[in-house]
Structure 1
């Protein structure tokens, strides 16, 4: 038994790697053992003063066996399950209430300790460590109520003990909540750091080879002229797309237009509008058919393929590696809304403004955000524009998303650019559910959904 206790205290039953809360579980194991020893000692010293000492010994035996048999259950959050917590607290509460039956009323009135004594606090602390301060506070209230019932009155002494247990459990629970939040934040920071280092390594390798070759082809093509100039222009677009990839994360390649040789990467948004025949929205027409390479099956399209032609020198596109499948009509409408948003960027922020498109997959919906580095707009400007009869945002963007059962939210700080977040459910109104291929959302460190 001694070797088992040492093993549980040493290993803690936790998962490999760093764990901020694991020392608390090990401390709880030590507390339960010490509290058990104290309860056994107190009863062994005073059992003759009880009216029914045999019943007390029976409870102490059960308490000892339970504590030693469940050491590994309080070694980690995964093993400390809800059914165990309920059984553990029930044993503590029953010991408190049983004291009023086994002990004499004179001893109870004199303020003698209950059968489990401070062992009951271990059950409350287990609740706090497992579920936070709310769980711990609720368990301490139950222990306090049972103490009042056992004593038959609220005295200064038991009120002091009840308040002390409540405050201690709430403090421990709040501390563990902060520890878990800090651990999650640290894990995200480490992931971002690892991804940034890998991206920088790839950027260095690509810059030393591919980008230099593409820049040389562009320069020599412009010098030679003729067909070589067209080849140089294509090399320049490839260089721009590749620089976007290594600086802003992965972006899906755009489908080649019919008149462009294979291997061409996303073209500027102005060219995309001309090739798709779109109007002022700048994206695929809402009533147009499937864009080449965009079909993922009957009634479904890859949203990345429709957004690919909108990328260019001033427009960066990022999204999942796997296809983002939506109902074909919904995908075209979202692409048209994105095109309208880019038109607004060019119209209000100027041709020199840069924009970023980010596509993200969630369990039940797809999120597309468009950000720019323009001057932004003051609060209430969109409502005023709609009141003046300018319905570009109201109809081309919000109207399209509303018809799909989604939403569009606009955010802006004057002087810091603007952002629109478009959400569309996978089962759009009148459509079929898309097939999920994405994982966790790829939010950036600032939480806004794209990088500047």
Structure 2
């Protein structure tokens, strides 16, 4: 069953909408209290009372409109800003002295919430437009604006533009991050499929090509076609970035990779189909020794600790498959007469599996050449698997002295 990567998107602007909702409620209460404690100084208190009735109803009813960017429409923003501007212009009507004295307007700092809604919704350009209208309304309402009025107007204008610019940068960063996560998930899935293809389809095609060539006749033609398909599939797996120049006769990989018997994985597959790999299943563990035991034989010696080596099912299976791929490389490149040794080491922090052979070793530069030709056994079947587990795969080879592959899988104390 293929594993699916999930890309979780996090909205960087949603907290801004929640903060804006709280700001509008608090500033509405503040404006009403300012009027309640100072209503005696109004020449026309009924004008102020009518405006605050509209302001309270509008603020409460439109709370869902400032819950997110989708519900905050242009029509809502237009009406909201209009109410703020009307409140500013009505201030000298309700309080004649306000034109000559540097007192607060009717909506007071509630007006900034309307401007901030423009900034969060549309960025700094929308914020500049809304704050400019507010500035003009303040200058008109004051008649002869004081120094404090100019200071407050400039402060709202600069602050709203700055917040709008920050919102635009945050949105661009969010899109870039989401795209990077999608690319990473797609790359990981592609590597997983490439490993599965390498361990199954490519190996079978290589075996058919080799056996067909040996049998001759019609079987040789079938082997030739299988070899061509193997070359084409390898090119596809490696994304076609490196042209394939080798011939079918050079593409034989020897025997099919010797994997753990299907019976060993029957329980694992059944458990996985039933959701055993679900992240909520914290207690499920597999003994790595039972997965490596079928790999031992007359030419392969397995040395293991006396106690179970417990890993999560997915980690145990991937590590066993990497060991199997390493042994397959020994059989292909060192011959059937080569001997191999598997050493399993278990510690509280990590599990180390070492695969060593007495073959001729790997010539310098051969791994890079093989990867360039599309032979991804070491790159994907071994290193790719360990990389997904958060581990490492180190390969040490000296010509004439064999090869050693050290596989390390870190795990915390909970893994035990």
**Which TM-score band (shorter chain)?**
0.5 to 0.7
Q: Name which of 64, 68, 79 aligns with 2:71.
A: 79
Deviations 1:184-228 (A, max 9, x none): 112212221221222122112111111001112233344455544
Could you say which structure has the greater relative contact order, defined with CA pairs below 8 angstroms and 6 or more residues apart? 2
Question: Which residue does 1:126 correspond to in 2?
Answer: 117
User: How far apart, CA to CA, are the structure 2 residues paired with 1:54 and 1:119?
Assistant: 20
Cα offsets for 1:299-353 (capped at 9, x unmatched):
xxxxxxxxxxxxxxxxxxxxxxxxxxxxxxxxxxxxxxxxxxxxxxxxxxxxxxx
Q: Does the 8 A contact of 1:218 with 1:233 survive in 2?
A: yes
C-alpha distance in structure 2 between counterparts of 1:240 and 1:182, whole Å = 41
Per the alignment, residue 368 of structure 1 pairs with none
Q: Does 1:146 align with 2:119?
A: no
| Bigger Cα displacement from structure 2, 154-163 vs 40-49 | 154-163
Structure 2 counterpart SS, 1:248: coil
Task: Give the Cα–Cα distance (whole angstroms) in 1 for the partners of residues 236 and 177 of structure 2.
Answer: 26
Alignment gaps of 5+ in structure 1:
1-15, 250-266, 269-353, 355-452
Contact 2:99-2:144 within 8 A present in 1 as well: no
TM-score by length of 2: 0.54
Q: Deviations over 1:260-302 (max 9, x none)?
A: xxxxxxx99xxxxxxxxxxxxxxxxxxxxxxxxxxxxxxxxxx
Structure 1 contact 199–247 (Cα < 8 Å) conserved:
no
Instruction: State which structure, 1 or 2, has the greater radius of gyration over its C-alpha atoms.
Output: 2
- Per-residue deviation at 1:70? 0.8
User: CA-to-partner distance for each residue in 1:56-77, whole Å, 9 max, x for gaps?
Assistant: 0110111011101111110100
For residue 33 of structure 1, what is the aligned residue in structure 2? Answer: 25
Q: Choose 157-166 or 123-132, whichever is displaced more.
A: 157-166
Give 1:115-264 correspondences, 5 Å limit.
Answer: 115-225=106-216, 227-248=218-239
Q: Counterparts of 1:51-450 in structure 2 under 5 Å?
A: 51-104=43-96, 106-225=97-216, 227-248=218-239
Shift of 1:152: 1.0
Kept in 1: contact 2:98–2:142 (CA 8 A): no
2:77 partner SS: helix
Deviations along 1:31-79, whole A, 9 cap, x unmatched?
A: 1111111101111111111110011011011101110111111010011
CA distance in 2, matches of 1:233, 1:42: 90
- Residues 417-444 of structure 1: CA deviation (Å, up to 9, x unaligned): xxxxxxxxxxxxxxxxxxxxxxxxxxxx
* Residue from 22, 34, 40 that aligns with 1:48: 40
Query: Matched residue of 2:104: which SS?
Result: coil
1:150 Cα deviation after fit: 0.3
The Cα RMSD (Å) is 2.2
Structure 2 unaligned segments of length 5 or more: list them: 1-7, 246-371, 373-416
Which structure shows the bigger proportion of residues in helix conformation? 2
Q: SS of the residue aligned with 1:76? A: coil
The alignment partner of 2:69 has SS state of: coil
> How many residues in Structure 1 have an aligned counterpart in Structure 2?
236
> Are the equivalent residues in 2 in contact too, given 1:73–1:79 (CA < 8 A)?
yes
TM-score for both structures, normalised by structure 1? 0.50
